[in-house]
Amino acid sequence: MGHDTLVKRQFGHRARLALSPAEVLKADDQAHAARTMWNLLHAWWQMMPKDKRTLANADAAIRQARRDIDFLAVLPAQAAQAVLKAYFRAWKNCWEGRAAAPNFKARFRTGMSVDIPQGRDLHITRVHRRWGMVNLPKVGRVRFRWTKDLPVGKRADAENRITGARLVKDALGWHLAFRVQTLEPEPDPHQGPEVGIDLGITVPIALSDGRTHEHEAWLTEKERASLLDLERRAARRKQFRRPGEPTSRRLQRTYDQIAGLRAKAKRRALDWQHRTTTAIAEQYGTVVVEALTVTAMVKSARGSVEEPGKNVAQKSGLNRAISGEAWGRTVSMLAYKTARLGGTLCRVPAPGTSRRCSMCGFTTPGSRESQAVFVCKNRDCGWSGNADHNAARNILHLYRMGLALVPAAGRAVVRRVQRVKPAAAR
């Protein structure tokens, strides 16, 4: 490791909380109060003249609201200030073209969260190999799952510390997302080999050296049957709901059970992606992937009334499979993990990588005989092999040819880059 240069690293870590029913109610009340505070700010913004829409006036308005409305008093003062800053930041993002204009937050369609801006208010201690204790403002001292070493106690200083956190609720319960800042030595260049990666559905990750990383279904057969039964039950109960009527408690409970199973599947997918990308980043110094536009790939084929699409059901199934593999999230994990270990992540153009023969370099029609088999139709070659590994080798070949996609002026352009060989290969 290069100890002469230190780099600041900021990352997040999410831990699951173990709350009692009374503590869950307190956290729920704070989240609803934060959402109400946002809606009140939005209403205030719409009513005030443009010259009165200042941060100072908004701060005075929310202070008065906290005095007048008892329900808002359950929200800590610093959390209310965080809502104010987030609302003004949302308008700034809108004016700069990065996001749409902020709007009212609905009760059932909005994620529940509460910000804890100051890390010093948490008072984190580790009490067990698997558990830690944290102080949540106006909730109390609660336990959380200790799955990652955090800079607390004697390990914490001005450069290595927890700067804040956010309470977040999903279908599996309340979690605490820590914001961590550390100062680490800058890593030396990774001396590992180069590898091309082909992302797919049948084979999620295929490497150019012949290896594959696969996974089982995220839900067991029993869980999938239960999910299908719950979805059918929800569809039947929804038929008896009149337009404009609120959702019944029975239907809402069914929706919660469906969300719990889907959240369990997502958690297992995240765990597999983290383990796989960590292993790849530790072994290889240069990782090459395709520059995929996933949003365009999962676009619906339904078409319009005048020009209806073809094979709509098959395309929708393919879209669900692509979204389930979360290729973009895999690439994002590889990007920051390779950078942290001194490696590099490169993107190359995607067209033609699955149709080109990695042995002779020719692209001939009909070579991709099936999803898993590639047979070169060039009479002078005739090579056959796994189609996913063939695509991965073509991806690595594009990098070795000096082609890389470099973002410029909001678009991707192809530039030739000079490859720097590791010291061991010189």
Identify the band that residue 304 occupies on the pLDDT scale cut at 50, 70 and 90: low
Let me know if residue 299 belongs to a domain: yes
Cα 220 to Cα 288: distance, rounded to the nearest angstrom: 33
Cα 173 to Cα 112: distance, rounded to the nearest angstrom: 11
Q: Which residues of 106-123 are buried (b: 16+ CB within 10 A; e: fewer)?
A: eeeeeebbbbbbebeebe
**Do 292 and 341 reside in the same domain of the chain?**
yes
pLDDT tens, residue by residue, 16-73? 999 999 999 999 999 999 999 999 999 999 999 998 999 999 999 999 988 888 889 9
Please identify, among 96, 114, 132, the residue that sits at the C-terminal boundary of a domain.
Answer: 114
Let me know if residue 244 belongs to a domain: no
**Do 212 and 259 reside in the same domain of the chain?**
yes
The answer to whether residues 145 and 15 touch, using CB atoms and an 8 Å cutoff, is yes
Residue 77 three-state SS? helix
- Is 175's pLDDT higher than 70? yes
Please identify, among 93, 114, 135, the residue that sits at the C-terminal boundary of a domain.
Answer: 114
**Do 291 and 426 reside in the same domain of the chain?**
yes
Quick one: DSSP state of residue 170?
A: E
Cα 414 to Cα 49: distance, rounded to the nearest angstrom: 49
Residue 118 three-state SS? coil
Please identify, among 114, 145, 174, the residue that sits at the C-terminal boundary of a domain.
Answer: 114
Residues near 106 by Cβ (< 8 Å), separated by ≥ 6? Answer: none
Residues near 412 by Cβ (< 8 Å), separated by ≥ 6? Answer: 291, 405, 406
Selection from 66, 67, 68 nearest residue 30 by Cα:
66
**Do 355 and 297 reside in the same domain of the chain?**
yes
pLDDT tens, residue by residue, 376-411? 877 778 778 888 888 898 888 888 888 777 553 334
The answer to whether residues 345 and 334 touch, using CB atoms and an 8 Å cutoff, is yes
Let me know if residue 32 belongs to a domain: yes
- Is 321's pLDDT higher than 90? no
**Do 278 and 412 reside in the same domain of the chain?**
yes
CB atoms within 10 A of CB 149: 9
**Do 314 and 426 reside in the same domain of the chain?**
yes
What pLDDT, on a 0 to 100 scale, did the predictor assign at position 268?
93
- Is 114's pLDDT higher than 90? yes
What pLDDT, on a 0 to 100 scale, did the predictor assign at position 142?
94
Single pTM value for the model: 0.81
The answer to whether residues 275 and 264 touch, using CB atoms and an 8 Å cutoff, is no
**Do 260 and 348 reside in the same domain of the chain?**
yes
Quick one: DSSP state of residue 275?
A: H
Let me know if residue 223 belongs to a domain: no
Phi and psi angles of residue 111, each rounded to the nearest 5 degrees, phi first? -65, 140
Which of 23-37, 128-142, 199-213, 393-407 has the least mean pLDDT? 393-407
Cα 58 to Cα 85: distance, rounded to the nearest angstrom: 10
Mean pLDDT of the chain: 85
Average pLDDT over residues 125-141: 92
What pLDDT, on a 0 to 100 scale, did the predictor assign at position 421?
47
Residue 183 three-state SS? strand
Let me know if residue 381 belongs to a domain: yes
**Do 265 and 366 reside in the same domain of the chain?**
yes
Quick one: DSSP state of residue 224?
A: H
**Do 110 and 128 reside in the same domain of the chain?**
no
In the numeric block, the tokens 């800058």 are attached to 186
Identify the band that residue 369 occupies on the pLDDT scale cut at 50, 70 and 90: low
**Domain residues for 357?**
188-217+253-426
Average pLDDT over residues 265-276: 93
What pLDDT, on a 0 to 100 scale, did the predictor assign at position 153?
81
Phi and psi angles of residue 302, each rounded to the nearest 5 degrees, phi first? -65, -40
CB atoms within 10 A of CB 11: 12
Q: Which residues of 33-49 are buried (b: 16+ CB within 10 A; e: fewer)?
A: bbbbbbebbbebbeeee
What pLDDT, on a 0 to 100 scale, did the predictor assign at position 136?
93
**Do 110 and 124 reside in the same domain of the chain?**
no
Average pLDDT over residues 188-213: 89
Identify the band that residue 4 occupies on the pLDDT scale cut at 50, 70 and 90: low
- The total number of structural domains in the chain stands at 3
Let me know if residue 233 belongs to a domain: no
Cα 364 to Cα 375: distance, rounded to the nearest angstrom: 10
**Do 301 and 414 reside in the same domain of the chain?**
yes
Which of 98-112, 226-240, 272-286, 293-307 has the least mean pLDDT? 293-307
Return the structure tokens found at 122.
């948490």
Higher per-residue pLDDT: 3 or 200:
200
